[in-house]
Amino acid sequence: MKRFIGFIRKEFYHIFRDKRSLFILFGMPIAQILLFGFAITNEINNVDIAILDHSNDVETQKIINKIKSSPYFKIENQIHNEKDIEAEFKKGKIKAVLIFEPNFSKNLVTKKVATLQTVTDATEPNVASTIANYTTALIQNYQLQKKQYNNQIKVQVQSRMFYNPELKSVFNFVPGVMTIILMLVSAMMTSISITREKELGTMEILLVSPIKPFQVIIGKVFPYIFLSIINAIIILILGFFVFGMPINGSLFLLLFESILFIISALSLGILISTISDSQQTAMMLSLMGLMLPVILLSGFIFPIKSMPIPMQLISNIIPAKWFIIIIKAIMLKGVSIQYIWKETLILIGMTVFFITLSIKKYKIRLE
């Protein structure tokens, strides 16, 4: 036990004396969560649009006022010619143009149909489609109000967004970033710190000493479990206080699942360290082999449901996918273990598998 404590103390010296690892450990989580939270967002606010009103009558004015009063759009200017649309887009300030057909009010009364066209600058496809959705929603809302005055029979579709009524992207990013950070810190940092000992030749010295190989590994991994838990807590605190990310479920369960995920990431880190001889290889392997799948296939950024079937199948072997499902369920839906035991079991199974595999691999290398 005393050996073990000495070993861990040494490991902390390494970490706290290396500015780079300190930065990756603590600077990056905070930077990432703030970046994702503030800068990278799917919501739109105050988008500059232009109006091309061919009819200029009561109804179009009503709609324009409605748009003006919404927080999403800012009417930058009125244009009077179809030709000006492209010119405005080229200037770059305006993201969309709303075009009312001539005789808008009249058509609405006589033909019961009037056309409003939304032209968007789709060089930024996400923004463009969001704008299109928002305008559609605004117009529908306007129609509803109109129908009420006319006292006609109406079928009203009301959507309610459960768990995230405002569709805040932060609710998606906090769990996602937490997953990435835990994966990065746990897997990359451990694999680098183990391969560093190999590179420096100190691993050989440790293996020649009476300390057992598995003690070496546990000694190397333990500080990172501890630091990763601290990281998880920092991210949760930031998410909660800065972005209003709710934690509806049990905090204890959330921490338990996080520790489980951390251990599975650590065992992946050990696995990587057994197959790489240099710190660079370990880093590249962690980045390419772990980070990319986590970002692309975990459902964090791209919804798994809309992937082709082979990709969906591959996503099942990514621990991060299950972890994201679990923590979202705990934080947003406030569920208890009985709703996520399946995912938890999968995560436990993966962890056991990776640990067994890395111990096996580690032994082979010793031969």
Partner 1 sequence: MEKEKIIAVQNLTKKFGDFTAVKNISFDVYKGEIFGFLGANGAGKTTAMKMLIGISNPTSGKATVAGFDVKEKAEMVKKNIGYMSQKFSLYDDLTIKENIQFFGGIYGLSRTEIKSKTESLVKELQLETIINSLVGSLPLGWKQKLSFSVALLHEPKIVFLDEPTGGVDPITRRQFWEMIYSQAYKGTTIFVTTHYMDEAEYCDRVSIMVDGKIEALDTPKNLKKHFKVDSMNEVFLKLARNVE
Contact present, 161 and 245 (Cβ < 8 Å): no
Binder to partner 1 among 3, 68, 80, 106 (CB under 8 A)? 3
Q: Contacting partner 1 (CB under 8 A), which of 31, 200, 313, 317?
A: 200
Q: 3 vs 154, which CB is nearer to partner 1? A: 3
Residue 204 Cβ vs partner 1, minimum distance, rounded to whole Å: 6
If the CB atoms of residues 28 and 211 are measured against partner 1, the closer one turns out to be 211
Smallest gap from Cβ 208 to partner 1, in A, equals 4
Number of neighbouring beta carbons within 10 Å of residue 138? 18
Nearest Cα residue to 248 out of 258, 260, 236, 259:
236
Contact between 165 and partner 1 per CB under 8 A:
no
Helix 319-328, helix 170-183: angle, nearest 10: 140
Contact segment (CB under 8 A) with partner 1 among 14-22, 53-61, 236-244, 277-285 equals: 14-22
Binds partner 1 (CB under 8 A): choice among 201, 303, 308, 310: 201
Strand partners, 99: 52, 117
Q: Is 10 an interacting residue with respect to partner 1 (CB under 8 A)?
A: yes
d(CA 6, CA 1): 9
Amino acid at 22: L
CB of 19 to partner 1, least distance (A): 11
CB of 34 to partner 1, least distance (A): 30
Q: At what angle do helices 337-366 and 213-243 cross, to 10 degrees?
A: 150
Axis-axis angle for helices 251-275, 170-183 (nearest 10): 40
Cα 20 to Cα 135: distance, rounded to the nearest angstrom: 47
Q: Could you tell me where the DSSP H helices lie in the chain?
A: 2-17, 19-22, 28-34, 58-69, 83-91, 104-110, 125-150, 170-183, 190-200, 202-208, 213-243, 251-275, 279-286, 292-297, 309-315, 319-328, 337-366
> By CB under 8 A, is residue 163 in contact with partner 1?
no
Spatial separation of the C-alpha atoms in residues 28 and 26, rounded to whole Å: 6
Q: Rule CB under 8 A: say whether 364 interacts with partner 1.
A: no
Binding mask 123-162 for partner 1 (x = CB under 8 A): ----------------------------------------
Listed ranges 2-10, 72-80, 241-249, 315-323: which one lies at the site for partner 1 (CB under 8 A)? 2-10
For the bound state, the minimum distance from the C-beta of residue 135 to partner 1, rounded and expressed in Å, comes to: 59
- Which range, of 58-66, 208-216, 272-280, 348-356, touches partner 1 by CB under 8 A? 208-216
Stretch near partner 1 under the rule CB under 8 A, chosen from 1-9, 25-33, 243-251, 326-334: 1-9
The residue from 113, 155, 309, 366 that contacts partner 1 (CB under 8 A) is 366
Q: Which of 113, 208, 309, 364 binds partner 1 (CB under 8 A)?
A: 208
Please give the Cα distance from 98 to 116 (Å, whole number): 7
Considering only 69, 158, 166, 210, the residue that binds partner 1 (CB under 8 A) is 210
**Residue with smaller CB distance to partner 1, 220 or 321:** 220
* Nearest distance in Å: CB 7, partner 1: 7
Rounded to whole angstroms, the Cα distance separating 272 from 263 reads: 14
Q: Which of 41, 143, 202, 280 forms a contact with partner 1 (CB under 8 A)?
A: 202
Q: Which of 209, 248, 278, 356 binds partner 1 (CB under 8 A)?
A: 209
Is residue 351 within 8 A of residue 344, CB to CB? The reply is no
With CA atoms as reference, report the closest residue to 339 among 215, 274, 248, 275: 248
CA angle 145, 150, 155 (to 5 degrees): 65
* Residues at the site binding partner 1, with contacts judged by CB under 8 A: 2-3, 6-7, 9-10, 13-14, 17-18, 200-202, 204-211, 366-367
